[in-house]
């Protein structure tokens, strides 16, 4: 990600802050030279520890936060979930959609073709709840740790947070990456056997999405792998492990 934003960062340094530009390695160079403790908040079940990393680098597991106290799911969503089989969640996070109506139509067609119920995250342009079929429900912001375990599968953009939430929930994922690190996470989902090959957003069609949905809801081996991976990730406590490392390496108590 540093290389993606390095040019913009250096432009801000020189033109706004009037300070020296960062090197090719940026902030990572000083961390390496000083051997400062580095924590990575992801699971070793998802990416093994690289053999060339030093002992001051620690992979702790994901840093999942607990659900906010007092939060309650909407009653109409509860009613929808209880009215039929688990639906497929579809949402692209904060990714800007230049043609939201067209994308919404694509998604609705794919769900209809596969005879699957769906939960759509908000961000679909002028699409309103009253225009949706009874088999599709639209939601706003929703805790993934509550929602995803109730889904048959998730379709998302491949952001690291959404990817982690899907893996934690133990359900298959269809990743439609836009840019940055998203293709990497989509490929990891595929390599772990818990989702089909990622579909780049610009190549997403009704046919491709329908084929992927049919795959994730019918492939028993894939679903079993997702369940087992979810169990392993939920057994980790990344926050506790991170605190342990900080207290030990930083001399904190």
Q: In what order do the strands lie in the sheet with 173-175?
A: 136-139, 118-121, 88-90, 153-156, 173-175
88 touches 111 (CB < 8 A): yes
Stretch (H or E) spanning 121: strand 118-121
Q: Could you report the per-residue pLDDT of 205-216, keeping only the tens digit for each? A: 999 999 999 999
Taken as a whole, the chain contains a residue count of 253
Q: Residue 122 gets which letter from DSSP?
A: S
Percent of the chain with pLDDT over 70: 93
Helix spans in 90-202 (H): 100-114, 144-147, 160-169, 182-191
Annotated domain spans of the chain: 36-62+236-253, 83-232
Q: Residue 16 gets which letter from DSSP?
A: I
226 touches 170 (CB < 8 A): yes
Residue 2 has a pLDDT of: 77
Residue 67 has a pLDDT of: 78
CATH class of 83-232: alpha beta
Q: Could you report the per-residue pLDDT of 134-192, keeping only the tens digit for each? A: 999 999 888 999 999 999 999 999 999 999 999 999 999 999 999 889 999 999 999 99
Q: Could you report the per-residue pLDDT of 28-70, keeping only the tens digit for each? A: 777 777 788 999 999 999 999 999 999 999 999 999 988 777 8
With cut-offs at 50, 70 and 90, classify the pLDDT of residue 112: very high
List Cβ neighbours of 7 (8 Å cut-off, separation of 6 or more). Answer: none
Residue 12 has a pLDDT of: 93
Paired tokens of 246: 């900080």
Whole-angstrom Cα distance, residue 12 to residue 155?
Answer: 35
């Amino acid at each position: 990600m540093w290389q993606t934003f390095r040019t913009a960062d250096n432009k801000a340094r020189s033109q706004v802050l009037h300070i020296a530009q960062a090197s090719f390695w940026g902030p990572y160079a000083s961390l390496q030279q000083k051997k400062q403790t580095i924590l990575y908040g992801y699971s070793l079940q998802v990416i093994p520890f690289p053999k060339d990393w030093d002992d001051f680098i620690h992979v702790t597991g994901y840093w999942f936060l607990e659900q906010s106290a007092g939060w309650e799911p909407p009653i109409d969503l509860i009613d929808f979930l209880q009215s039929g089989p688990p639906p497929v969640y579809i949402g692209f996070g904060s990714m800007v959609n230049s043609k939201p109506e067209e994308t919404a139509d694509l998604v609705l067609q794919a769900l209809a073709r596969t005879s699957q119920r769906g939960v759509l995250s908000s961000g679909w342009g002028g699409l309103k709840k009253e225009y949706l079929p009874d088999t599709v429900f639209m939601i706003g912001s929703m805790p993934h740790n509550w929602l995803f375990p109730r889904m048959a599968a998730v379709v998302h953009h491949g952001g690291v947070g959404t990817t982690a939430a899907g893996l934690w929930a133990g359900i298959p994922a269809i990743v439609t990456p836009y840019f940055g690190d998203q293709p990497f996470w989509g490929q990891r989902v595929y390599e772990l056997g818990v989702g089909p090959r990622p579909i780049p957003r610009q190549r997403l069609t009704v046919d491709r999405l329908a084929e992927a949905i049919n795959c994730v809801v019918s492939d028993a081996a894939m679903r079993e792998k997702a369940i087992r991976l979810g169990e392993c990730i939920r057994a980790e406590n990344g926050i506790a492990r991170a605190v342990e490392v900080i207290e030990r390496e930083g001399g904190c108590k």
